[in-house]
Amino acid sequence: MGQASHRNSIFVTGAASGIGAATAKHFASKSWFVGLYDIDEVGLAEIASEIGSENCTSGLLDVRDRTQWAAAMESFSAATGGQMHVLFNNAGIGRHGWFEDIAPEESDAIIDINVKGVINGVYAALPLLKPTKGARIVNVASTAGFVGSPQLAVYVASKFAVRGLTEALELEMEPLDIKVTSLAPWFVDTPILDMGQTTNSNHKMSDDLEAAGAQIYPVSLAAEGAWEAATGTKTHYGVGKLSNQTRFLSRYLPGFMKRRIRKSMPPRGD
């Protein structure tokens, strides 16, 4: 475990793959000390080995479990001298399909991880964020947090919640010198695109995106967006031109946006 009290530090959930792993490596490349936390022990070990033990600490974390959050904060605090410059609330899951085809238990998991997991992270990290000058919380939302997307209804709801939480906390935390922002990616080449109706579904969202010729951005672009969200002055940060375009259209031309979405919808069965 590296001692990093003299360095900027970031705590990353969902760090074993996708945006979390890319962000961890990006910040490490800029000499930040990184906390890697995930439920994927093998993936964590690979990222930690790549970054180097002197640049990170790691541990298992199910973001639904407050006891695990407390243990993760204890280990991170020991490595950083009680400081945390950025909490990167990234862990998330999704399910893709018509609302009634996704089991209620799957929808429960989306809310528990994507919403409650973020809230748990803020509660757990505040004791480290408060004494750290210029600390920041970056919550990973989605372009789906700005526009309703068919076949992603509960995932959309979870990301709207993250967006709202971010905007409220930004105002609440300002007197504490804690900036709160969100990262709202368009489709990014990460494992979450493999979402189906269930965990082991053979039909994946990536199949539909490929068939539709949808634009998918590289995960490196999301890591660069995370850096902007951790250092910039805005509240929400997109990833990719289509993210910013969609957010603009949903705000200023909602009727046009709805018509565009309806045209792109696949036909429904009975």
Reported as a single tens digit per residue, the pLDDT across 193-215 is: 555 555 555 544 444 444 445 56
* Cβ(181)–Cβ(237) below 8 Å: yes
Q: Is 189 exposed, middle or buried (0-12, 13-18, 19+ CB in 10 A)?
A: middle
**Any catalytic annotation for residue 217?**
no
User: What confidence tens digit (pLDDT) does each residue in 25-48 have?
Assistant: 999 999 999 999 999 999 999 999
Domain ranges of the chain: 9-264
Binning pLDDT at 50, 70 and 90, where does residue 269 land? low
pLDDT for 217 equals: 66
pLDDT at 200: 57
| Active-site pick, 37, 155, 217, 237 | 155
Query: What is the spatial distance between Cα 149 and Cα 26, in angstroms, rounded to a whole number?
Result: 30
Residue ranges of E strands in the chain: 9-13, 33-38, 56-60, 86-89, 135-140, 178-185, 236-239
Report whether pLDDT(76) > 60: yes
Percent of the chain with pLDDT over 70: 86
The pLDDT of residue 211: 46
**Superfamily of chain region 9-264:** NAD(P)-binding Rossmann-like Domain (3.40.50.720)
Among 79-88, 91-100, 114-123, name the one with the lowest average pLDDT: 91-100
